[in-house]
Homo-oligomer: A and B are copies of this chain.
Amino acid sequence: MTAPFFLDCDTGIDDAMAIGWLVASPGVDLVGVSTVSGNLDAAGGARNTLDLLALLGRPDVPVSVGAHDFLDHAYSGGAPEVHGVNGVGEVRLPRAAAEPTGLSGAQAVVEAARAHAGELRLLAIGPFTNIALALELEPRLPELVKEFTVMGGAAMAPGNVSALAEANVANDPLAAHRVFTAGFNLTMIGLDVTMRHVFEESHRQRLLAVGTPGAVAIAQMLEFYFAFYAQRFGRPCAVLHDPLAAAVATGDVELAVAPTVPVVVDHTDGPARGQTIADLRDLYQGFPHTYPGGTRVALEIPGDFAGTLLDRLSTL
């Protein structure tokens, strides 16, 4: 039995790991991908996605180029210091024959949700612009989508692009606010958990040693990503933002603490712009309440996810 998954991403090195996770997971039927500007521009992210999917033996997955600009401001460049200018750590992937669909990202999301009504698993690991636009095209999207998992935000953890803001949310806070308050069956995998799961150089070497084109490409990209995180951690390594969200979406990791609480996003121009404001005041009672319309906010994911990820990617 497989379940239909749709991925919205900005590929991106950790996006590539998430794509690897989805392709390597036997329960996943990847029905489509849309891209959005974030780590790099949406068109570049789509090219990387097509090339990587071909390398992983899935040249058939349709990829749509989504929003280049954000809801209330223009895209102004990605994160070349983190992901490289080409988004995949300057690794040269073989150019795939496939081209993007003619659909916008929002259209592709809506078509997938309608085609798999009540069954679609949606995973968004870039800025939330495409999903916000899809909500305009199809207000019933929250009912059509069975489960929606996002990598983004920070509830109690520090931000990564400002004191409080995480990059995916900070790129388009208005879109994020609309998505978090739309009524999806939504799980937020934010910095509270992603910063606690680290891929080490030993993992990377073992992935490289797998020797298949996909595993080698991802391991090569990680060299660049590791160099960025070395500035933060003092050793070459990387936190596992997007693949952790993918693994939650596929049901492979346990959320030990994940209260369902109201979440809004600060989309003012104030000092908290881009912050996910999760109401965690029940903390001291152990979160006895589940709030209707709330978001499931992951606060603790125990276990050795880096090892699990290495094992899964080693099957590519």
Interface segment among A61-69, A76-84, A279-287: the answer is A279-287
A270 touches B266 (CB 8 A): yes
A164 within 8 Å of B (CB atoms): yes
A275 within 8 Å of B (CB atoms): yes
B159 touches A157 (CB 8 A): no
Using C-beta atoms within 8 Å of the partner chain, give the interface range for chain A: 20 to 34
B163 touches A279 (CB 8 A): yes
Nearest-CB distance from A235 to chain B (Å)?
11
Write the chain B residue with the least CB distance to A286.
B234
Residue among A156, A160, A195, A233 with max Cβ neighbours from chain B (10 Å): A156
Q: Which of B195, B268, B278, B285 contacts A163 (CB 8 A)?
A: B278
A92 within 8 Å of B (CB atoms): no
A211 within 8 Å of B (CB atoms): no
How many copies of this chain are found per oligomer? 2
Write the chain B residue with the least CB distance to A283.
B158
Question: Assuming the A-B contacts A156-B157, A157-B156, A271-B266, are A284 and B233 also in contact, with contact meaning beta carbons closer than 8 angstroms in the complex?
Answer: yes
Question: Assuming the A-B contacts A156-B156, A156-B157, A157-B156, are A272 and B277 also in contact, with contact meaning beta carbons closer than 8 angstroms in the complex?
Answer: yes
Write the chain B residue with the least CB distance to A239.
B284
A219 within 8 Å of B (CB atoms): no
A232 within 8 Å of B (CB atoms): yes
Chain B proximity mask over A267-306: 1 for CB below 8 Å, otherwise 0: 0111110010111110111000000000000000000000
A195–B283 Cα distance when bound, in Å, is 10
Chain B proximity mask over A147-165: 1 for CB below 8 Å, otherwise 0: 0000000001111100110
Nearest-CB distance from A72 to chain B (Å)?
14
Identify 15 residue pairs between A and B in the complex whose beta-carbon atoms are under 8 Å apart, listed by A's number. A156-B157, A156-B158, A158-B281, A159-B281, A163-B277, A163-B279, A164-B277, A195-B284, A232-B284, A233-B284, A233-B285, A234-B285, A266-B270, A268-B268, A272-B277
4 extra interchain contacts, Cβ-Cβ under 8 A, other than A272-B272, A272-B275?
Answer: A158-B280, A158-B281, A268-B270, A271-B272
